[in-house]
Amino acid sequence: MTDLVDLLISGLVYGSIITVGAIGLTLMSDILDFFNFAYGDFFTLGAFTTLAFLSVVPGQGTFAGLSFGWSMVLAVLLAALVTVMVMLAFDYLFFRRLRNMGVSSLFMSIASLGVSFIIRSIIFMIWGPKVRYYSSEVQLSKEFLGISIRPDNLFILLSSLLLVAAVYYFLKSSRIGKALRSVSDNKALAQASGMQPSLMIMCTWIICGILAGVGGTLFGIQVQLNPNMGWNFLIPMFVAVIMGGIGSFWGALIGGMTIGITEELVTGLIQNLVTAMELQINVSAYKPAVAFIFVIVILLLRPYGLFGKPQFNLKR
């Protein structure tokens, strides 16, 4: 039973990070009209930029049982800002030109693959292939409301929740947020209602940049930092988006949490079984397989996802 609760909590934490990424990815796929394969590497950029700022901002040490201090909050804000600026720069130098040339979504996606290699190479050049950590503190679980959880994980869960709620409130209530939803709903009508496409695109990059900067850092807190972390994380993010339906906020939320919890539960329970059978197999290495199985089942049963629009039918 304790194992199951631990796995569930672990899944919730992992799922919350996937959700942060999936919301950015779904917004981008819907409004910018292409799958951005570089999004995972923007996650990595956010994580490493936070690492860089952590050593220069005040508030080092630890706080409230966390493995890091207040410096993390300041560092993550600066990292989000840098991620947004880098994203806008790539859009200005690269994607904007392709858009103006009328390049199709497919080629935009392939171009984003190129951008992902560029970002990853730069991260390799600056930080090298060595695995890094935000903190070398060993952290023990603590009891919160009768549940045993590591304070860092609680921080990840609450931060993700706060970020997702903030994005939801922004999209639901602000003028620009509503305008972005209207573009997502009906691009032609949005233009005819006065929405300026270039402004909407810029707003999308900014929101997605903030999500990548913060989400990357939260992922970095949970796992070790390495230049491939975001690229590998792209798979569960994409699966969450496809599962929820492209362009759906709630879809990304439910998709992200489902993938996170299922991956942890399935691999954890199989690992327990394998260990009981005294077999030497590391089942967690096969975690992405769970996401792939999800994609196959979803594409077969509901190609446009749980909450998606039929025009995003991936079968066509």
CB of 247 to other proteins, least distance (A): 9
CB of 168 to other proteins, least distance (A): 14
Nearer to other proteins, 127 or 170 (CB): 170
Return the bridge partners of 142, or none.
149
Structural contact between residues 252 and 232, judged by C-beta atoms closer than 8 angstroms: no
Nearer to other proteins, 182 or 228 (CB): 182
**Cα separation values, 162 from 125, 210, 211, 252, Å:** 34, 13, 12, 16
Query: What is d(CA 288, CA 74) in angstroms, rounded to the nearest whole number?
Result: 33
CB of 220 to other proteins, least distance (A): 34
Query: What is d(CA 179, CA 262) in angstroms, rounded to the nearest whole number?
Result: 34
CB of 233 to other proteins, least distance (A): 28
Angle at 66 between CA 61 and CA 70, to 5 degrees: 50
Query: What is d(CA 91, CA 201) in angstroms, rounded to the nearest whole number?
Result: 9
Place of tokens 């197999």: 281
Nearer to other proteins, 184 or 258 (CB): 184
Nearer to other proteins, 181 or 287 (CB): 181
CB of 187 to other proteins, least distance (A): 10
CB of 106 to other proteins, least distance (A): 19
Return the bridge partners of 147, or none.
144
Nearer to other proteins, 130 or 175 (CB): 175
Nearer to other proteins, 254 or 290 (CB): 254
Helix 197-222 / helix 229-244 crossing angle, nearest 10 deg: 120
**Cα separation values, 73 from 121, 168, 219, 256, Å:** 27, 21, 14, 24
Query: Which residues of the shown chain bind other proteins in the complex (CB under 8 A)?
Result: 175, 178-179, 181-182, 184-186, 188-197
